[in-house]
Structure 1
Amino acid sequence: MFKTIKADLQAVFDRDPSATSRLEVVLTYAGFHALLAYRISHWLKMHGVPFFPRAISQLARWLTGIEIHPSARIGTGFFIDHGMGVVIGETAEVGDYVTLFQGVTLGGTGKERGKRHPTLGNHVVVGAGAKILGGIKIGDNVKIGANSVVLKNVPANSTVIGVPARIIKSQGERLPDATMDHTNIPDPIMDRFAALEQELIELRKKLDNRDPQLPF
C-alpha cells in the first residue's frame, strides 16, 4: 500500500504544474487526501474489517467533497485534479495512471446488482463533469471530453465527447505530452456545419456562373 501511495504522490507532480512541494501536496490537495483515505479504507475492506471502511469513506467525502467507495479498485499513479464532486462507485475499476477532473462520476444506471459501475483502462483522462455510467469498459489511452455522458464501451486509443458520448477519434496515437490537453478536442458538429457552409458556397458559385439562356 505504501508503494502505491508513493506512486499517487508522484502522479501529482507529473500531471499538475502548480504542485511545488511534497509538503504542499500532502497538506493541501483534497484529491490526494481522498485517495489516501480510500487506500486505507480499501485495505481494511479487503481484510474483512466491518463498518470502519465505509466510515472513513464518508469522513473523506465530508472533508474533500470526493466520494470513493471502499470496494472500488483503483490502480497506481491515480490523480484527481481539484476533485470536488467526484464519485466512484462500489464496483468501479480504475487502471494505472488515470486522471479525473472535478465533477466526474463513475456510477451505475439503476438498482441492478453485480458489476454495475464502469471499468477504466490505463492512462485514461476524464474531463470535468463527465459521467461514465453502467458496467461498461473504457479502453487504454482514452480521452473523455468535459461534460460527456458515456453509456457504451469505448475502444482503446479513442476520444469521445457529447451527450450521449460518441467517438470522434479512434486508434489515435497517444502523445506523451498530451495527457492533460483535453481542451483541444475536435467538435464534429461544428465541422459538419463548416462542411455544409462550404457546400452552399459552391452551389452559389455554380448558380452565379450558370448560362442565363438555360431554363435553370
Structure 2
Amino acid sequence: MTPRALVRAALADIDTVRDRDPSLASRTEALLHPGLLALWGHRAAHSLHRRGLRRTARLLSVVVRVLSGGIEIHPGARIGRGFFIDHGSGVVIGETAVIGEDVTLFHQVTLGSVGWWHDRRRPRGSRRHPAVGDRVVIGAGATLLGPITVGDGAVIGAKALVMSDVPAGARMLAPQADQHQPRRTRTEAVRELAAFPSW
C-alpha cells in the first residue's frame, strides 16, 4: 500500500469513528477512540501475521489490547473497511473470524469458537469463528460462537447468544426484561380500594 493510500485509509477510519460516535466533535478527538487504536493495531498485527511473523504479531496484539482498554483481536482475523467498535471494552475477536464492511460492534461482544475440544476435531485450517457480513450491527454483550455465518444487514441484539447461521436482514434479539409489580399486601389492597370514590 502506498503512503497516499495509507493516509486515505486512515482518514476513512477516523471519519467512520466520527460518524458513528455522536459524542465526538472532531477528527482529533476521534484519534483518542479506543476502537480506532485497536483497529490500526490489528491491521499492523495482521500484516505481520500474514508474513509468518506470528509471535511478533501476537506481541503487538497484546500491547494493543492493554492500550485499547481490553479490545482483543487475534492477528489472524480478517476485517473489512468501515469497521467500528463502540466503547470497546471486553471485545474478543477470534483468529479465523471474518468481518465484512461497515460492521459495528458494541462493548463485550465475543466472536469466538465453541471450544478447543470441538475445534480439534475440525480439519486443520478450517474456520472456527463467525463470518460476519456487511452492514451488520452487533449489540453490547452479544456472543457469537462457532463457524457460523451472519448475513448482510443483520442485527444481533444486546446479550444475544447466537450459535447458528443468521439470514441476511434478520434480527436476533435476546429475551427482554419484563416489569413485574411487587405483590401487594392485603392492607395495601384495601387502602387502594378505599381511595376510589363510590358511585
1:57 corresponds to 2:61: yes
Counterpart for residue 45 of structure 1:
49
The TM-score normalised by the length of structure 2 is 0.78
Corresponding position: 1:128 with 2:140: yes
* Residues 6 and 48 of structure 1: CA distance in aligned 2, closer, same or farther (over 3 Å): farther
Structure 2: unaligned runs, 5 residues or longer: 179-199
Quote the residue 1:142 is aligned against: 154
The equivalent of 2:10 in structure 1 is: 5
Structure 1-normalised TM-score? 0.72
Residue 94 of structure 2 is matched in structure 1 by 89
CA distance 1:25–1:151, shift in 2 (3 Å) = same
Q: CA deviation at 1:32?
A: 0.7
Q: Name the CA distance, whole Å, in 2 between partners of 1:123 and 1:95.
A: 7
* One-letter code aligned to 2:154: V
Percent of matched pairs sharing the same residue: 49
Segments of 5+ residues of structure 1 without an aligned counterpart are 164-186, 191-216
Deviation at residue 5 of structure 1 after TM alignment: 3.3
What corresponds to 1:102 in structure 2?
107
Alpha-carbon offset, residue 18 of structure 1: 1.2
**1:207 maps to which residue?**
none
Q: Which residue is 1:33 aligned to?
A: 37
Shift of 1:152: 0.5
Tell me what 1:17 maps to.
22
Structure 2 Cα separation of the partners of residues 21 and 80 of structure 1: 17
**CA distance, structure 1, for counterparts of residue 42 and residue 141 of structure 2:** 21
Q: Distance in 1 between matches of 2:61 and 2:157?
A: 27
**Conserved? CA contact 1:4–1:77, under 8 Å:** no
Higher mean displacement: 81-90 or 14-23: 14-23
Deviation at 1:79, TM superposition (A): 0.2
Q: Deviations over 1:94-132 (max 9, x none)?
A: 000000000000000011042110000000000000000
